[in-house]
Structure 1
Amino acid sequence: MRRRNSASPGGGFNTSRSNGPMQKIDGYQIFAELKRGTGSTIYKAWDFQYSRTVLVKLLSAQAASEPQWRAQFLREGKISARLAHPNLRRILQSGLLDNEPFLILEYVEGPTLFELIRQNKELPIDICLFIAKELAKGIMAVHQHKVLHRDIKPQNVFLSLAGAVKLGDLGLAHDRHESTNTIVGTPAYMSPEQVLGHEITEASDLFSFGAVLYETLTGEPAFADRTLPATLHHVVNWDPVPITLLRPEVPNELVNACQRLLAKNPAERFRDAEAVVDHLQRLERRYGVSTNGKNLAEFFDAPQAYRRVKLQQSISSATSFAETKRSRTLSLSWGVAAVVSAVMFFAGVLYIWGIKTYVQRKAEKSAIGGVLTPPSHSIILGYLDLQVKQQSVIHINGDSLGTTPLSTPIALPPGSHELRIYHPQLGERKMRVNIISGETLRQTIDLTKP
């Protein structure tokens, strides 16, 4: 059957289906399915005009019937068409096929950063620095067009075998000036303000970039737990295990840069992506390294034979981040400082417990051969606004979220969750709550009443 797409240039796309699942589009021959997700499917195809492999992204049948998915897909094409940069995966064409949207994307032959990290737990630090700098350039290009990516993660960083680094997948991208209350992203790489439903700015993407940099340097995700609610809790309330504990040879300046990117307060992060690029370039000059795409290609060819560059530690700025935080503490009044001291004591206890938990999990992974990885798919969260009239301990799906009153609504993935409320005198109450994407469920509980 021949179909015409009035939205495409040159008269439209024609498709024909044989007895098999492959599809032929005028100018392109789909020959393999690459990735199937909730909202779309990506295929590899051959571009006859330019004799190259490309990607064809089609909206799934299920998502096509959902206005939200359709609008998101169309927005991806519209935003991607405005962006052109060596560190961004290109969109080659977009339009409608039989009234359904499609995208033709650049095919990057090589692994994603996620795959590279899983294959090489300790990447050479100069390679890490190069990848981070190139990725920051891509983020800078996105932000210069007043666009927020909102889903920066290792799975969306594409590395070519020739040594190029490209940020891709703008499926959740949004124009900066357009307000939205929908909370989207990949949990382990979301910023605290994303999780809490606060205003999202460029600083949120920088936090996600910091989580990617942390994982690139250490081989471990910055925020990950066995359940999604616990992961979100860690993003908002906990700092990750120190890089120096996992990999002592990482230079202090690079550690400090990562800490700054992962600051819970957006105002404490870098000014913008351009400032990040400038900082990483200064570190390259300070360390005397000039790693480039050719070196990354050499690493792909022979990882074991790659000559690892030992970066020099610079004592002068090694404590700059810590000194800044110390000066803030010293400027507090005596009364506030006393409160801070008490809080820091308990935070220290939690911190030690967190380190112990991390080490235990590392041992568990070694014993069973498993890998603890964060939820990698993008989701649209919902919220539980829980009010309990008596101070109680709250558990969601077996994870403790602390005691009421809760300062903010609880961010949860869509679906059914077990809620447990415990009071020492009044006992416990269990119930299931159903969370809907993008909506807030409000519950008021009085344990003295049935």
Structure 2
Amino acid sequence: MVKVSEGKPEPNPNKGLPTWTLQDFEIGKPLGKGKFGKVYLAREKKSKYIVALKVIFKQQLEKYRLHHQLLREIEIQSSLNHPNVLRIFGWFHDKDHFILILEYAARGELYKELRKSKHLSEKHAATYILSLTKALAYCHEKHVIHRDIKPENLLLDLEGRLKIADFGWSVQSRTKRHTMCGTLDYLAPEMVENKAHDYTVDNWTLGILCYEFLYGVPPFETESQTNTFKRIIKVDLSFPSTPRVSAEAKDLISKLLVKDALKRLSLQKILEHPWIVKNADPSGVCSGGVSQI
């Protein structure tokens, strides 16, 4: 069962799949709803530890033939242990569902807070980019490419610490990949052009997110998929006059949104960038939430 050690749960140390059932949990309020199921607040009865249960409908997985993808997601996420990566403690299934036992992020999706405040202060944006960069550096060291970093897949814990979630499109590979996947506004040019890609697609997405955090919208967003694709391929990047954003922030974005993947700023260079050094809180905590400028 889930155990509490120094305030944090640890996965079952026994080999093999833990024999959890829904009866082992007190189920609380729904936290969110996705294409394939729902997420609920829950408490494991023996340890009293609060978790999130992601309930996925088997019928939907069969319809879209995603069993293999789910098992790959579980395998990858289970292998990761980083302060800015959402933990998965285990999983089980019944006749109709797969249930994932996940770390509970009390403040929910960063997307929702971003929509409320329109855009972030440079200090909050830099702190989130710093946290993301550290998490992705850890993932890339383990040869994991996330491939779907976006505000909806970024959660905040009670203190405001960012957590990467949803590894549904992630892959663990030492070689280049060819599958086009992810979300339209965040796709790198090589994906749009159906070319091979590697971990640098995550670096590109950091540039997209930095822009969106500061301006409130992704940089290449249009009303049609075709036009968005064209803007991504051309790297048709422009910076609005409002809100006011520092030259250092624009410099970081411009060095990440580069068509040639080999010339994109490395994760190490992001950590050393003047805008990050000047603005980011090294603790990774944004206790005050997002700020409207």
TM over 0.5, shorter chain: yes
Going from structure 1 to structure 2, the CA distance change for 1:240 and 1:47 (only over 3 Å counts) comes to farther
Match of 2:259 in 1: 264
Give the secondary structure class of the aligned counterpart of 1:263.
Answer: coil
The answer (yes or no) to whether the contact 2:39–2:53 under 8 Å persists in 1 is yes
In the alignment, structure 1 residue 277 sits paired with structure 2 residue 267:
no
In the TM superposition, what are the counterparts of 1:338-349 in structure 2 within 5 Å?
none
Unpaired runs of at least 5, structure 1: 1-5, 15-24, 309-450
Paired with 1:32 and 1:223, the residues of 2 have a C-alpha distance of: 37
In the TM superposition, what are the counterparts of 1:67-106 in structure 2 within 5 Å?
68-98=65-95, 101-106=98-103
Deviations 1:350-389 (A, max 9, x none): xxxxxxxxxxxxxxxxxxxxxxxxxxxxxxxxxxxxxxxx
Match of 1:148 in 2: 145
Match of 2:243 in 1: 247
Paired with 2:255 and 2:49, the residues of 1 have a C-alpha distance of: 41
In the TM superposition, what are the counterparts of 1:200-215 in structure 2 within 5 Å?
200-215=197-212
Match of 2:10 in 1: none
Give the secondary structure class of the aligned counterpart of 1:105.
Answer: strand
The total of aligned residue pairs comes to: 279
Going from structure 1 to structure 2, the CA distance change for 1:43 and 1:299 (only over 3 Å counts) comes to closer
Paired with 2:93 and 2:62, the residues of 1 have a C-alpha distance of: 15
* Corresponding letter in the other structure for 1:263: V
Paired with 1:97 and 1:181, the residues of 2 have a C-alpha distance of: 34
Give the secondary structure class of the aligned counterpart of 2:160.
Answer: coil
The answer (yes or no) to whether the contact 1:162–1:293 under 8 Å persists in 2 is no
* Corresponding letter in the other structure for 1:276: I
In the TM superposition, what are the counterparts of 1:173-322 in structure 2 within 5 Å?
173-177=170-174, 180-242=177-239, 245-248=241-244, 250-271=245-266, 273-279=267-273, 282-285=274-277, 287=278, 289=279, 291=281, 296-299=286-289
Paired with 1:186 and 1:122, the residues of 2 have a C-alpha distance of: 20
In the TM superposition, what are the counterparts of 1:123-142 in structure 2 within 5 Å?
123-142=120-139
Per the TM alignment, residue 100 of structure 1 is displaced from its structure 2 partner at its CA by 5.5
Paired with 1:109 and 1:155, the residues of 2 have a C-alpha distance of: 15
Sequence identity percentage: 25
Give the secondary structure class of the aligned counterpart of 1:8.
Answer: coil
* Corresponding letter in the other structure for 1:193: E
Paired with 1:199 and 1:55, the residues of 2 have a C-alpha distance of: 35
The structure having more radius of gyration, on CA atoms, is: 1
> Which 4+ runs in 1 deviate beyond 4 A?
292-295
* TM-score for the superposition, normalised by structure 1: 0.57
Q: Cα RMSD between the aligned structures?
A: 2.6
Give the secondary structure class of the aligned counterpart of 2:197.
Answer: coil
Deviations 1:399-418 (A, max 9, x none): xxxxxxxxxxxxxxxxxxxx
* TM-score for the superposition, normalised by structure 2: 0.85
Per the TM alignment, residue 163 of structure 1 is displaced from its structure 2 partner at its CA by 2.4
Paired with 1:151 and 1:227, the residues of 2 have a C-alpha distance of: 20
Paired with 1:132 and 1:294, the residues of 2 have a C-alpha distance of: 9
Deviations 1:325-364 (A, max 9, x none): xxxxxxxxxxxxxxxxxxxxxxxxxxxxxxxxxxxxxxxx
Paired with 2:176 and 2:127, the residues of 1 have a C-alpha distance of: 34
Per the TM alignment, residue 218 of structure 1 is displaced from its structure 2 partner at its CA by 1.1
